[in-house]
Each structure stands twice: as C-alpha cells, then as structure tokens.
Chain A
Amino acid sequence: MFAALANPLRFMAFSRWAAPILGLAALLLTGAGLTLGLSAPPDYQQGDTVWIMFVHVPAAWAAMLAYGCLGGASFISLVFRHALADQAAKAAAPLGAAFTGLALVTGSLWGRPMWGAWWVWGDARLVSVLVLFLLFLAYLALRASIDDEAKAARAGEILALIGLINLPIIHFSVEWWNTLHQGESILRPGGPALAPVYLLPLLLTGAGYSFAFGALWLARTRAEVWRRRATALALQAALR
C-alpha cells in the first residue's frame, strides 16, 4: 500500500476519490455523534458541561493522530528520501496545530466551570498538550524560515522525530503524575468508565474528527504536490 502510494501519480489518482469519501464519512459520523451527544442527559457530576467532551476529546485525539502522521511521514522522508512523504509531513502540521488549538481552547472552556480555572500550569496533561501545540508551531516556523526546501525538510524531520517522545507523555501523563485532568476513561483495564450514552457519541465524533483529518490531510498533500510542480515548472520557464 505504502509502496504503491509513494508514487505521486498513483497518490494523486488515489487521493482524488479518497479525500471526498473520507470527508463525507467524517460529516456523517460527526453529525451522528453530535446528534446523539447533545441529546444525552446531563452527567451526575459535570451536568451539561459533559457536552463539551464531544468536541474536546475528538480534537485531542485528532491532534495526536496528526502528530503521529507528521512523525511517521518525517521518518519515511528522512530514511527513504521519499519526496511525497515530506509533502505529507508538511501538510499534516497546520492541521495538527489547528486540532491542538481546538483541544486547548475547548478544554479551557470545560475546565473553568469544573475546576474553577481556565488553565493550570501544574497539570501535566495540559502542559504536555501545550508542548504539542508548540511543537507544531515550531515545525511550521522552522520550515518557513529556511529557503532551501531540502534543508528545511531535513530540519523539520529531525524536530518532528524528537517531538514524538511527547505522544506517550501526553497519553500517560494522567497516570504518571497527579493531575486535575481526569484519568484514562476509555482504554483502561476493565473496560471504559464512560456510560454507553456518552461512549457511543464520543466514539462516533472521535472517528468523525479522525476521518476529517484524513480527508484534509490528503487534500493538503495534493496541494503541496501541485505547489512543487508549479515551482519546478516556473523554474524551468525562467531558465529557458
């Protein structure tokens, strides 16, 4: 699958139909999840603020998925020198920054009524997600600051690979340190702690956000392929 898609022509043919299908699936899943979620009863502890979970948690999942894709594509680009992998890495970063920003803002809007604070510096989950946001911004700034695309790609790949260490830190932060943030409530021994009335809409919106990232990632990678094609053609025209 990877070897087949490493060819830009095959990738463009594949993504032309895959991106809209993923986008449609994202719309249906997110719509169904939000419809079910917003009709769920108030939580006995958190009241109606539990509704924020259906936009906060999927954004956080999509942010981590985006960084995983950025790191994976950077690894493939660095080791196998695939131009398409570098284009995919570059395309994932702005989306990852946006999803992380959404997770931070919606988390803050959930934290204020529940914890009495918009932000808590001593909370490992919050700070590690802020580090993720800064990693995305640093990657984008680094790539934008170097004119030579090959050098910019190498620098970005190294930063992206170093930043991968943050993903397990985010995931396990609620176990390794005492935090205000609630502990693991889905992937835990003994099964999910969430009631099905919340779990099903959360899984639907989580899948919807992930598919949305997939659709937008494919579309942005296509744009990056065209950008490089246009740049190469403009250079050829200038040299004639």
Chain B
Amino acid sequence: MTPLVLPGGKYALYIWPAYGVSALGFAWMILDTVLRARRWKRRAERLETER
C-alpha cells in the first residue's frame, strides 16, 4: 500500500496542521454563531407569541 504523502515536503508536518487548525477555528466560529442566533431568535419569538 502506498503511504499517503501530503504536498509540502519536509514541512508538511507544519503546513497541514496550520490549515487544519484554521478550518477547525472557522468551523467553531460559524457553528457557535449560527446556533446562538437560532437559539435566541426562537426564544424571543416564543416569548413574543406568549405575550
């Protein structure tokens, strides 16, 4: 079986973790923002209708 070789040569060990961490950071920012917005919008709308 051919081992997986990432582009970047001897520096691949540093390059791809940098891209991985960036992707994780963006994933957290987007998820946290969307879930927070949805949660508070729903709560505000529910309280509005109960008024």
Q: Please give the residue numbers on chain A whose beta carbons come within 8 Å of chain B beta carbons, in ascending order.
A: 38, 47-49, 51-52, 55-56, 59, 94-95, 98-99, 101-102, 105-106, 109-110, 112-113, 212, 216, 219-220, 222-224, 226-227, 229-230, 233-234, 236-237
Q: Is the CB of A233 within 8 A of B18?
A: no
Q: In the complex, which of the residues B8, B25, B30, B44 contacts A51, with contact meaning CB atoms closer than 8 Å?
A: B8
Bound complex: CA A233 to CA B39 (Å): 15
Given contacts A101-B25, A233-B47, A237-B51, whether A48 and B37 have CB atoms under 8 Å apart is no
Does B18 lie within 8 Å of A216, measured CB to CB? no
Q: Which 7 A-B pairs have the closest CB atoms?
A: A233-B47, A226-B40, A223-B37, A230-B44, A230-B43, A106-B18, A227-B40
Bound CA–CA A52/B43 (angstroms)? 41
Give the Cβ gap from A183 to chain B, nearest Cβ, in Å: 22
**Residue ID in chain B nearest A38 by CB atoms:** B7
A55–B22 touching, CB < 8 Å: yes
Q: Are B18 and A110 interface neighbours, CB within 8 A? A: yes
Q: Which residues of B contact A (CB under 8 A)?
A: 7-9, 11-12, 14-15, 17-19, 21-22, 25-26, 28-30, 32-34, 36-37, 39-41, 43-44, 47-48, 50-51
Which of B25, B28, B33 has the largest count of A CB atoms less than 10 A from its CB? B33
Contacts of B21 in A (CB 8 A): 102, 105-106, 109
Q: Is the interface of A mostly helix, strand, loop or mixed?
A: helix
B40 (CB) vs chain A CBs: closest residue? A226
Contact B41 A47 (CB under 8 A): no
From B7, B29, B51, contact of A48 by CB (8 A): B7
> What separation, in Å, do the CA atoms of A47 and B9 have in the docked complex?
9
Q: Are B36 and A223 in contact (CB under 8 A)?
A: yes
Partner of B15, one of A52, A101, A224, A234: A52
Q: A48-B7, A233-B44 are in contact. Are A212 and B15 (CB under 8 A)?
A: no
A residues in contact with B41, CB < 8 Å: 222-223, 226
Residue of A nearest to B25 (CB): A102
